[in-house]
Chain A
Amino acid sequence: SQTIHQWPATLVQPVGSPLSLECTVEGTSNPNLYWYRQAAGRGLQLLFYSVGIGQISSEVPQNLSASRPQDRQFILSSKKLLLSDSGFYLCARRGAGRTGELFFGEGSRLTVL
């Protein structure tokens, strides 16, 4: 089966500290991968997507960056966190079918204090 793992599940960080959220995918090769952020009371905002190793597209200017060092690994990073970076971060992969639905990981809850 194709599974998406996100780590860590929960993270509390001070303002100005660095961030690294990891997403790994099992059971498929060369997946399209996505990072979404869900802020309280709001829908999901697409942050980054990647169609392959080293290929990153950014959707919105922000304090975050993404990298894809391996085929099944997608990392979300920041050098200095802001309060506004708090939220629930979801990694997703595209399904193989024509409809192209996304399948999501369990998410990572980030609180910046």
Chain B
Amino acid sequence: AQTVTQSQPEMSVQEAETVTLSCTYDTSESDYYLFWYKQPPSRQMILVIRQEAYKQQNATENRFSVNFQKAAKSFSLKISDSQLGDAAMYFCAYRSGKMNSGGSNYKLTFGKGTLLTVNP
């Protein structure tokens, strides 16, 4: 079974600075998808960024970018120009690309999360 590990339970960053959140995963598959989700105090999970494993180019969404290292099975999230509104719990998630009937291949496996604090 696939596992997702976030080794940093908590991180902090000064406003306007850059922070990187780590994520590693374990899989024997070559086709898969990776995601970062943000969960602010309101508790609703919000998709931040997605990466397809077959794409070598790192995904970018405004101030959010990833460093995808497929051989190392690493998928870190970089937040540039951190803002107070970025404070949240961040979850890394994995989805298998294997096609199964019944929708089971669309399950996401989540890490335990990293709590990001942004200091003014």
Contacts and interface: CB of A to CB of B under 8 A. Distances in A.
B111 A100 contact: no
A99 B110 CA distance: 16
A94 B43 contact: no
> From DSSP, what is the main secondary structure of chain B's interface residues?
mixed
B108 A49 contact: no
Contact of A43 (B44, B102, B106, B110): B110
Interface residues of A, number: 28
Interface string A101-113: 1111111010000
Interface in B63-120: 91, 95, 102-113
Interface in A11-34: 32, 34
Given A46-B107, A99-B52, A105-B44, 14 more contacts: A49-B103, A55-B102, A57-B103, A57-B104, A98-B52, A99-B33, A100-B33, A100-B106, A101-B47, A102-B47, A104-B44, A104-B45, A104-B46, A107-B44
Nearest to A94: B106
